[in-house]
Structure 1
Amino acid sequence: MMLDILFPNRCISCNRIIEVNLLVCPLCMEQIRFTHTGYSEDSFMKQKCKLLFPVENAFALMNFEKENVSRSIIHDLKYRNRENIGKILAEWTAGRLDFRYGKPDLLVPVPLHPKKLKERGYNQLHLFTEILSSFYDIPFDHDLIRRNHYSKAQALKDKQHRLETGNTFSITKNISGKHILLIDDVFTTGNTLATIAWEILSAGNNKVSVLVMAIDE
């Protein structure tokens, strides 16, 4: 109680004092552009994926906009040691994601390189994935995909370097006949997800769907 008084929870965007279990204040919540498109719909997200790899379904929770609330949320999740944001985003996602037309067999988050994981202390996708796994009763695997090369954050790379991801990922286990839901934080060029998707598709008679916290239009 004393810590709540001395260090109250504040809105991630405007810094107003808010309830301890909230992420943003009601006013900033209204500024978040949720996509409002279904997992199985022929959405903008799905069309972008289709240009890169065969995709079953695709879902983005929010639009990722410059100088907006969604960008602040993702930035704090990744770079300010606020892993618990993943739990809140998973709760927002669980209220909007409908698997009635194609429930996946396995949830797989995009991995960090071990060096990056040690530097950050956590993978920003793990808690998010685990909450969704529990909510939908779908198993997850944090170790199915291995990132082979250490590199600086995507946000710090120019566009050309973002497109250079050859041999970046590999599959660590034998998988076949599975519908894999790949999970990432932000869809930008889609190159990371495409690289992983092709590894999964090449590993056996598998299908791939995609879920991201936000899509950069």
Structure 2
Amino acid sequence: MSRFSHALKLGLEALFPNFCISCQNHIQANQALCQHCLDDLNLFDLTRHPNLLHRPDICDAFPDSQFDHLIACAWYQAPFKLWLKQLKFNDQQFFRVALTQVIDKQLQIARQVNVTWPDLFIVLPLHNQRFLARGFNQVSQTWLPVLKSQQCSVSSALYKQKATKAQSQLSKAKRVKNLQNAFVCQQDLTGKTVAIIDDVMTSGATINAATEAIKNAGAKQVWAMLTCLTGLGNLHND
């Protein structure tokens, strides 16, 4: 950055200061959370459970998981629930920045504590109809900056070919039926470890359907990486 650009950046920050969305303290322009508030969030301890499927309460919440490894940031509760909803339905971009900070923190820890790491990352795609109606994919908005900064290989090999009903009001059995043959993988993934990226997992039906398509394409392992977990047994948090 040139001296002029740096001076301009400092000047803009002075004229239009940025404040932490939690404590309102002044922070840098590319942040939404100060370091203290970021560190104070109730996140999953990935140093203790590098694979969250080995954590008993999470294993109980998702007993039918078809994927092999699970990494997530937190339970779907305050403040993450508000941030995700405001981004998804109201396109509130400062919540995107906050979520990206959280994802970046957890992914750095995950990379340190896991002996192996995925060869390829796939953001769970929206069906074309839903993407056109919404105009953006909030999962891509929050995860892609982190994946690119960590030089992860991102692929668009997965395609959603079925316009499914919204999962939120369906039972577990209906969620599974709703997602049957929803995804198709358009790339040979023989021998690869592939990570599927999504924002919230409730029953695991969507990730399981995507996992099936990816394993049918030859992947040896599928990881699920989520911003938040709900679990049908934890709907009191929803």
TM-score, scaled relative to structure 1: 0.79
Q: Does 1:40 align with 2:54?
A: no
Larger radius of gyration: 2
Q: Aligned match of 1:187 in 201, 222, 226?
A: 201
2:111 maps to 98
1:146 maps to 159
**Aligned equivalents of 1:98, 1:50: Cα separation in 2:** 25
Q: Aligned match of 2:147 in 117, 130, 133?
A: 133
Aligned residues: 208
**Aligned equivalents of 2:159, 2:84: Cα separation in 1:** 23
**RMSD after superposition:** 3.0
**Aligned equivalents of 1:202, 1:50: Cα separation in 2:** 21
2:76 maps to 64
Q: Secondary structure at the match of 2:122?
A: strand
1:108 maps to a residue whose letter is I
Unaligned runs of 5+ in 1: none
Residues 201 and 207 of structure 1 are in contact (CA less than 8 Å); yes or no, is this contact kept in structure 2?
yes
Unaligned runs of 5+ in 2: 1-11
Q: Does 1:120 align with 2:134?
A: yes
Residues 77 and 124 of structure 1 are in contact (CA less than 8 Å); yes or no, is this contact kept in structure 2?
yes
* Residues 162-173 of structure 1: pairs in structure 2 closer than 5 A: 162-163=175-176, 164-173=178-187
Q: Aligned match of 2:84 in 70, 74, 81?
A: 74
Q: Do the aligned partners of residues 171 and 47 (structure 1) sit closer, same or farther apart at CA in structure 2, a change above 3 Å counting? A: farther
Q: Secondary structure at the match of 1:90?
A: helix
Q: CA deviation at 1:47?
A: 6.1
Residues 34 and 62 of structure 1 are in contact (CA less than 8 Å); yes or no, is this contact kept in structure 2?
yes
